[in-house]
Amino acid sequence: MEKKHKAGFVNIVGNPNVGKSTLMNALVGEQLSIITSKAQTTRHRIMGIVNGDDFQIVYSDTPGIVNPHYKLHESMMGFVDSALQDADMFLLVTEVGESLKNQDILRKIINSEVPIILVINKIDTSDQETILKKMEYWQNQIPRAIIIPASATEKFNVDKIFDQILALLPENPPYFPKDELTDKSMRFFVSEIVREKILMYYQKEIPYSTEVAVESYKEEDGIDKISVMIYTERESQKAIIIGHEGKSLKKVGTEARKDIEEFTGKKCFLQLHVKVLKDWRNSENALRRFGYEN
Ligand SMILES: Nc1nc2c(ncn2[C@@H]2O[C@H](COP(=O)(O)OP(=O)(O)O)[C@@H](O)[C@H]2O)c(=O)[nH]1
Ligand SMILES: [Mg+2]
């Protein structure tokens, strides 16, 4: 008799900076989502697919829940909303110091009909007593949740989360071809890698007022030639991105190129340009062009 096939959408949601992207990368075994210590690193819904002979898990990493101040944020929360709608189960990620905040989105998750695995992440920064108390706290808050303490960076209990997901996965045919790893293109990952370097090397509002788009992507024999545009909201920000004698931009380019080459396994010629696009965070046209449609 043929074994039944399981498949489902496992949607990873939670507050900013709790380790959602780190956890998805650990579960998928690939660096699909960029990770930094800054909030709002993730701006899109990014799928990471794990395939087995008789199962397919479609993870979705999502932006951390924020109160929208810009149209950009509204669109980011639109991605979270889409993840609320098609989830077969939630990985609700919290960190060890965190308690329940009264947010709409969290309420919707708690009141939904699908299973919740509540991850208490970053337990490497805590102690046994605190962790046990936190587990009890969450079990009282969300009685139907399965609580798993974990450390995404130390890969502690990631296997346990995986086993639990597999146990809860519904019977379904695969949603995507079995050799697919993600729903996103190489162009998307290149722009994310460049954005990660900007988040790492610039301070204050610079990373938040910056967007990155691939202008052209030519695959040639043994080398990819990629041209990337960095958009800022103001001239002053553009000057900061470029830096004295272009040194800052050069560093972004060098570091991004290394990561892109590691990701593709191929040599890369990366060109970076900077342009001002006034108030792009509040412009519907610009946001659409940058792929923030939901
Ligand atoms: N100590 C510790 N730090 C973590 C852990 N998981 C993630 N982080 C860090 O938390 C920060 C935010 O991680 P990220 O995955 O981008 O969080 P997200 O905003 O929820 O996607 C980064 O600096 C991570 O290195 C963990 O298990 N332990
Ligand atoms: Mg993230």
For residue 194, the domain's CATH number is 3.30.300.20
Average pLDDT over residues 135-156: 97
- Asked if the structure places residue 282 within a domain, the reply is yes
Average pLDDT over residues 262-277: 97
Are both 30 and 162 inside the same structural domain?
yes
- CATH number of the domain at 118, please: 3.40.50.300
Are both 12 and 111 inside the same structural domain?
yes
- Asked if the structure places residue 174 within a domain, the reply is no
Are both 130 and 273 inside the same structural domain?
no
Query: φ, ψ for residue 251 (rounded to 5)?
Result: -65, -45
Q: Terminus-to-terminus CA distance in the chain, angstroms? A: 42
Token pair of 99 as six digits: 């308690």
Domain-ending residue, one of 136, 168, 200: 168
Q: What angle do CA 109, 112, 117 make, to 5 degrees?
A: 60
- Asked if the structure places residue 176 within a domain, the reply is no
Could you report the per-residue pLDDT of 92-142, keeping only the tens digit for each?
999 999 988 878 899 999 999 999 999 999 999 999 999 999 999 999 999
Are both 52 and 144 inside the same structural domain?
yes
The predicted structure's pLDDT at residue 103: 83
Are both 91 and 228 inside the same structural domain?
no
Average pLDDT over residues 239-268: 97
Helix axes 235-242 and 247-264, enclosed angle (nearest 10): 70
Are 96 and 121 in contact by the 8 Å Cβ rule? The answer is: yes
Which residue would you say has higher pLDDT here, 3 or 146?
Answer: 146
The predicted structure's pLDDT at residue 15: 95
Ligand 1: nearest atom to the Cα of 39? 19
Are 192 and 34 in contact by the 8 Å Cβ rule? The answer is: yes
- Asked if the structure places residue 101 within a domain, the reply is yes
pLDDT-derived band at 2, boundaries 50, 70, 90 = low
Ligand nearest to the CA of 79: 2
Are 90 and 59 in contact by the 8 Å Cβ rule? The answer is: no
Are both 58 and 112 inside the same structural domain?
yes
Q: State how far the Cα of 149 lies from the Cα of 147, in Å rounded to an integer.
A: 7
Burial of 283 (0-12, 13-18, 19+ CB in 10 A): middle
The predicted structure's pLDDT at residue 90: 98
Ligand 1 binding pocket mutation candidate from 21, 22, 98, 124 (most atoms within 8 A of CB):
22
Could you report the per-residue pLDDT of 39-63, keeping only the tens digit for each?
999 999 999 999 999 999 999 999 9
Are both 74 and 140 inside the same structural domain?
yes
The predicted structure's pLDDT at residue 134: 97
Are both 220 and 264 inside the same structural domain?
yes
**Pocket (CB within 6 angstroms of ligand 1):** 16-22, 35-37, 41-42, 64, 121-122, 124-125, 151-153
Of 57, 141, 48, the C-alpha closest to 101 is: 141
pLDDT-derived band at 3, boundaries 50, 70, 90 = confident
Are both 162 and 19 inside the same structural domain?
yes
The pLDDT > 70 percentage for the chain reads 99
Please, how many CA atoms are within 13 Å of residue 191, restricted to the half-sphere of its CB? 21
Q: State how far the Cα of 104 lies from the Cα of 57, in Å rounded to an integer.
A: 27
Average pLDDT over residues 179-204: 96
- Asked if the structure places residue 1 within a domain, the reply is no
Query: Into how many domains does the chain fold?
Result: 2
Are 208 and 42 in contact by the 8 Å Cβ rule? The answer is: no
pLDDT-derived band at 144, boundaries 50, 70, 90 = very high
Place of tokens 């691939």: 214
Are both 155 and 224 inside the same structural domain?
no
E strands in the chain: 6-14, 46-52, 55-61, 89-95, 116-121, 146-149, 211-220, 223-232, 267-276
The predicted structure's pLDDT at residue 6: 98
Domain carrying residue 128: 6-168
Q: How many residues can be counted in the chain?
A: 294
The predicted structure's pLDDT at residue 251: 98
- Nearest-CA residue for atom 8 of ligand 1: 19
Domain-ending residue, one of 112, 135, 168: 168
Are 226 and 270 in contact by the 8 Å Cβ rule? The answer is: yes
- Asked if the structure places residue 180 within a domain, the reply is no
- Asked if the structure places residue 294 within a domain, the reply is no
Query: φ, ψ for residue 95 (rounded to 5)?
Result: -115, 165
- Asked if the structure places residue 175 within a domain, the reply is no
Q: Is the pLDDT of residue 1 over 60?
A: no
Are both 147 and 190 inside the same structural domain?
no
Q: Is the pLDDT of residue 198 over 90?
A: yes
Token pair of 258 as six digits: 């290394």
Bridge partners of 223? 220, 267
Are both 18 and 87 inside the same structural domain?
yes
